[in-house]
């Protein structure tokens, strides 16, 4: 177990209620404390999307206690990676950060059947992100 995280990742979507919460859940689950995880939204919703909670529960990850949070400049500055998911230009840009934009369908207002493929795509991208973080540490 490292004494400090290998990297810090911030996931951002508009409402911080679906995509970014699922991504944070996967990264926390798959990387443990090796990678610091944050999520936020440019216009946070009132609660995490129930279909996203259900879809994640199906793969053994509980995000039911998560709450949408407002995107802050401090969160961006404290992160090595900033991964946006449809928040457009709402994210502040700082030099030295790695910015990635993941074009993912918005699960808002959709049932769990429609959220499952989004969840699975997020998992694939999270696994690749973990591999990238690990490779950078080994380099």
Is 16 a known active-site residue? no
- Listed in sequence order, the DSSP H helices in 17-88 are 19-31, 50-58, 73-77
Looking at 7, 9, 12, 13, which residue is catalytic?
Answer: 13
91 among known catalytic residues: yes
Residue 13 bears catalytic tag: yes
The single residue of 56, 87, 104, 118 carrying the catalytic annotation is: 87
Which residue shows structure tokens 């230009």? 89
Tell me if 85 sits within 8 A of 23, measured CB to CB.
yes
The one catalytic residue among 63, 85, 91, 122:
91
Burial 43-64 (b: 16+ CB within 10 A, else e): ebbeebbebbbbbbeeeebebe
Q: What is the distance of C-alpha 125 from the center of its chain?
A: 10
Active site residues: 13, 87, 91
């Amino acid at each position: 177990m490292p004494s400090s995280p290998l990297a810090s990742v911030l996931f951002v979507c508009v409402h911080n209620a679906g995509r970014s919460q699922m991504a944070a859940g996967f990264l926390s689950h798959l990387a443990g404390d090796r990678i610091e995880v944050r999520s936020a939204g440019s216009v946070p919703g009132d609660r995490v999307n129930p279909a996203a909670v259900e879809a994640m529960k199906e793969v053994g990850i509980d995000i039911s206690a998560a709450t949408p949070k407002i995107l802050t400049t401090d969160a961006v500055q404290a992160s090595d990676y900033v991964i946006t998911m449809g928040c457009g230009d709402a994210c502040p840009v700082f030099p030295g950060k790695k910015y990635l934009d993941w074009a993912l369908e918005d699960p808002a207002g959709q049932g769990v059947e429609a959220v499952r493929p989004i969840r699975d795509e997020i998992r694939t991208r999270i696994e690749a992100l973990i591999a990238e973080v690990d490779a950078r540490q080994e380099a």
